Every structure is written in C-alpha cells, then in structure tokens.
Amino acid sequence: MGKLNIDTDYVAALAELLQRTGLTEIEISEGDARVRVVKKPAPVYEAHVAPRAAAPVLADSEPTTAPANEPAHPGTVTSPMVGTVYLYPEPGADPFVAPGQTVREGETLLIIEAMKVMNQIRAPRSGRIARIFVDNATPVEFGEPLLIIE
C-alpha cells in the first residue's frame, strides 16, 4: 500500500467553505481521487414555551385578517444558489437597493458569493422594492426569499 498524498490546505479550504456557506457536506472528485468533507451538525435543543393566553374578543370589534405570507408574494425574488449574500457593492458603499426604491428589469439587486465567485442577482422585472428579507454578509440557501418587488 503506497503513501497517501493529501493536500491538507485544500481540505482546510473545503472545511472553511462549509462553515462560510452553512453547508454540512461537500464532495469533490477528479479522476480516481475523491475528497469528502462533512461537518457534524450541532445538537438540536427543544425549547418548551407555555402557550400565550388568547386575547379577549370584543363584540363590537371588526374581524382582523392575518398578514399575507410575504415570501409567497408573486414578486418574491429567491436565491438561485447557496452562498453568502452581500447587499453592498463594497464595504462603506450605499446598498444596491433599499425598501421603497424603484428598480428596472436587469438592475443588480444584490450579490451572492458562491465558491469565491461574486454572482450579481438582477431584477427579473421592474417595480418597487417592498421588503428585503436578508441581512448583509449572511448565508442563504437555494430558494430562500431575498426580497419582494411589487
């Protein structure tokens, strides 16, 4: 059996990528060589919270409706990939967009960094930014709601 050559810097870079993106596993193969890095998930603790008492209902009050599920809004822009979201083009700069701002189709809304590549996420249509769901420099998952364009 021959000596196994392992590039520990490469394995460390993959482990750092897991940490940065929030992924729990990554596997890379090239020819017969295969590297798999798995991050053990943190233990899950359940919190038991006592239910809140129902608010009293007044006979003369009008019925209230629950707010619409905003991530299900037809103008919701979702993440096309797993990565780290950046709302600013560079530290200290103004954000790409802000709530209430009008955007044009194709305009850059934010950047998602994935595998050291900065991916511009562009507006799929023109409209007004109603809400931004993500914070700067935080990990996002595929399909996660990013913002709403109305």
| Whole-structure pTM value | 0.54
| pLDDT, mean of residues 122-149 | 94
Residues 89 and 139 in one domain: yes
Amino acid at 58: L
| pLDDT, mean of residues 12-30 | 77
Residues 89 and 133 in one domain: yes
Q: For residue range 66-108, what is the model confidence (pLDDT) as tens digits?
A: 344 455 788 999 999 999 999 999 888 999 999 999 999 999 9
Boundaries of domain holding 24: 8-38
Query: 80 lies in a domain?
Result: yes
Please tell me the distance from the alpha carbon of residue 74 to that of residue 127, in angstroms, as a whole number.
12
Please tell me the distance from the alpha carbon of residue 148 to that of residue 36, in angstroms, as a whole number.
37
User: Mean pLDDT lowest for which of 26-30, 72-76, 78-82, 133-137?
Assistant: 26-30
Residues 25 and 78 in one domain: no
Amino acid at 41: P
Compute how many other C-beta atoms are within 10 angstroms of the C-beta atom of residue 113.
17
| pLDDT (0 to 100) of residue 146 | 95
